[in-house]
Amino acid sequence: MNYEEVITRIHQELKSYWGKGKVADYIPALAEVEPQQYGIAIETLDRQSFQVGEAKVRFSIQSISKVFTLSMVTRHLGDRIWKSVGREPSGNPFNSLVQLEYERGIPRNPFINAGALVVTDRLMSLYAHPKDAILNFVRTICGNDDIYYDKHIAQSEKANADRNMALGYLMKSFGNMENDIESVLDVYCHQCAISMSCVDLSRAFLFLANRGLNPFNQEQILSVSQAKRLGALMLTCGFYDESGDFAFRAGVPGKSGVGGGVAAYIPGSLAITVWSPELNRHGNSLIGMETLERFTTDIRNSIF
């Protein structure tokens, strides 16, 4: 399949969408990003790479990091993590406090902020140096040692973390946090502030397309069953309260972040990442969502 031709055409067509969305500004450092950027990178399991536009420009991965921390925790805790976090779509904005109150501190799923905070909290209980452990994990799965935290974004995020802090304390009051909330927020803000390119992210998602096996070093990162479950969670919960619509339109598991990235994959075949910073009203990359829909439609392949 000539993916090059497909993504070049989509890229050309969707540039006209620039200006229709809005760059995230609730974290001031994210608002500094030049909005009119658009990259696509595909990595296939048979070792082909296709890129167009700003595919090698690094951006803030934000919530896409939730896939990495959940992978790390699932590896160690297995099913035990599901005692503290649910597996249902929330139907609410990613940082909502309301549901958490009436569901007694158990977040709906690991991809809304509350759920991701629980995952990061458990990761901190597992690793003496969690920030180093996260970077090492990400570097290993994408095969690039040159991956770092963007300190400027991490600081900006920490300075504007009141709502996430509130989620942390609310869960602590229900006994669902093991570590000090300020420390959890520090690690969480750093994981969100990892800078990666579309190429890096597609490579990092290849182990999921490969049913848990890292294609670069043949390490089984997740069992086949754990990889299946992670994919199912991404399909049902990976796009905030637009997850159903993304599944409907693109038909593949994926995860978005408010930095404008969308990473997705087709099991047994490929991983694809799109980055375009302007977001739609649900906080997902407007061009990213449209790109994935057109891509799976044009190549006539998805999980369905």
Candidates 23, 258, 262, 274; catalytic one: 258
Candidates 3, 38, 188, 265; catalytic one: 188
Compute the least distance from the CB of residue 156 to ligand GLU, in Å.
10
Q: Of the candidates 40, 85, 192, 227, which one interacts with ligand GLU according to CB under 6 A? A: 192
Q: Of the candidates 258, 264, 274, 289, which one interacts with ligand GLU according to CB under 6 A? A: 258
63 is catalytic: yes
143-172 residues in contact with ligand GLU (CB under 6 A) are 157, 164
Compute the least distance from the CB of residue 130 to ligand GLU, in Å.
16
258 is catalytic: yes
**Phi, then psi, of 177 in degrees rounded to 5:** -135, 140
Query: Are 294 and 2 spatial neighbours (Cβ–Cβ below 8 Å)?
Result: no
Q: According to the binding rule CB under 6 A, does residue 6 interact with ligand GLU?
A: no
Candidates 66, 158, 172, 255; catalytic one: 66
Residue 175 gets the label, from left (phi > 0), alpha (psi -120 to 50) or beta, of left
Q: According to the binding rule CB under 6 A, does residue 257 interact with ligand GLU?
A: yes
Q: According to the binding rule CB under 6 A, does residue 246 interact with ligand GLU?
A: no
Q: Of the candidates 7, 10, 51, 63, which one interacts with ligand GLU according to CB under 6 A? A: 63
Q: According to the binding rule CB under 6 A, does residue 289 interact with ligand GLU?
A: no
Nearer to ligand GLU, 110 or 212 (CB): 110
Nearer to ligand GLU, 76 or 163 (CB): 163
33 is catalytic: no
Nearer to ligand GLU, 38 or 188 (CB): 188
Candidates 3, 23, 33, 63; catalytic one: 63
28-47 residues in contact with ligand GLU (CB under 6 A) are none
Q: Of the candidates 59, 68, 94, 127, which one interacts with ligand GLU according to CB under 6 A? A: 94
Rounded to an integer, what distance in angstroms lies between the CA atom of residue 234 and that of residue 177?
23
Rounded to an integer, what distance in angstroms lies between the CA atom of residue 34 and that of residue 64?
20
85 is catalytic: no
Query: Are 188 and 121 spatial neighbours (Cβ–Cβ below 8 Å)?
Result: no
Candidates 127, 240, 262, 265; catalytic one: 240
Which residues participate in catalysis according to the annotation?
63, 66, 188, 240, 258
Query: Which residues contact ligand GLU (rule: CB under 6 A)?
Result: 62-63, 94-95, 113, 157, 164, 192, 257-258
